[in-house]
Amino acid sequence: MSTMIFGFLTSLIVAFAATPYVKKLAESIGAVDKPNQRKVHTRIMPRMGGLAIYAGYLVSFLLFVPFSGFKEMLGIFIGGTIVMTVGILDDKLQLSPKWKLFGQLLAAAVVVIPFGLKIGIVNLPYEGSIDFTSGWLLWLAAPITIIWIVGVTNAVNLIDGLDGLSAGVSAIATATMAIVALLNGPGYEHVAIYCFVLLGAILGFLYFNFHPARIFMGDTGSLFLGFNLAALSIMGFKEALFVSFIIPIVVLGVPLWDTFFAIVRRIVNKKPISSPDKGHLHHCLLNMGLSHRATVLTIYTISIFFGTMAIVLTKTTKWTTIIVMAALLFAMHLATEVVGLVGRRHRPLINAVRRLKIKYTERRSH
């Protein structure tokens, strides 16, 4: 436990101390974010703040994370460094989506292929399991893992739209993974240490990033955090029970929820999936009248709820997990319609309830 505490404090202090210097660096090299019709901020802001997160993480990782004997840890470190470098280049040069995707695929391939971070055995809620460690399914383990890592990386990147939003949500997800790793027992201390190191770095930067922000994390930070969360979700839960397949999805509930319905929204509106818009969860909450800070705190609360549910699910039975997940999915879909994530005209549940209410009222009147 002392290693976790010292690792957390070291990364927090280094990230906190490094952020003002990173801010000056970003301004001097022109790594700034200019406002436009799609952005919420109204003034030029330095970005590339993720470099401060990486600085805190790097120092603490080298001092406290036991990557000796855990080659996957070293793989996450190298892959994270690659994707962080891609983020720096994008913050400065505005890389095309193809080059950003190439960098993410390279980082994911590095941690998966030479360092062996892959999905393992998924025990099903009924009898049997899906074993990705042997037979022909072994060939699917690597591509599925790479797709997961790239998908989560981009999901975290997409929610980086308000001051402190992506950093705060990432901090909550990281803290949740640390708690679950500790609950999983002695074989997961290295995962917990890594989570505490990453958490400290995020919080050290968040002081400068929370509304009103003095610096943005940019793609340097959002890609780095997304990559780490994706890789940790596999490393921390790949060899457990059926809930090990569910928990990472619940932990990362907010970015995955927002990204899934962003894709649905663009398909419904017949727009390219990669086209940017102002229909994300934080945009919808702002449109409902919430202030900038209230919107961020609301999404924090949702993230804490998802994190709490993930922790609870580690101690439930398989069928209880299925029932809870069904209830969560229903609640998420209802919330999606209420806030208008897909669009104000696409509300099948709400419209069905209204029709039933009208019919009930007509019957009562007769």
Annotated binding-site residue numbers: 157, 219
Determine the residue type at 111: V
Tally of CB atoms within 10 A around 260: 15
What's the Cα-to-Cα distance from 136 to each of 114, 132, 142, rounded to whole Å?
Answer: 19, 8, 12
With residue 33 as reference, give the H or E element that holds it.
strand 32-33
Q: Under a CB-based contact definition with an 8 Å cutoff, are residues 241 and 318 in contact?
A: yes
Q: Tell me how far apart the alpha carbons of residues 153 and 161 are, in angstroms, rounded to a whole number.
A: 15
* Alpha helices per DSSP H over 30-137: 50-64, 71-93, 97-112
Dihedral sign (CA 22, 28, 29, 32):
positive
Closest to 177 in 3D by CA, of 287, 303, 35: 303
49 Rama sector, left if φ>0, alpha if ψ -120 to 50, beta otherwise: alpha
Annotated binding site for Mg(2+): 157, 219
Measured on CA atoms in the order 202, 207, 212, 215, is the torsion positive or negative? negative
Token digits of residue 162: 């308000």
CA–CA dist 162, 100 (Å, integer)? 21
List of residues 6+ apart from 43 with CB closer than 8 A: 35
Closest CA to 145 of 231, 204, 203: 231
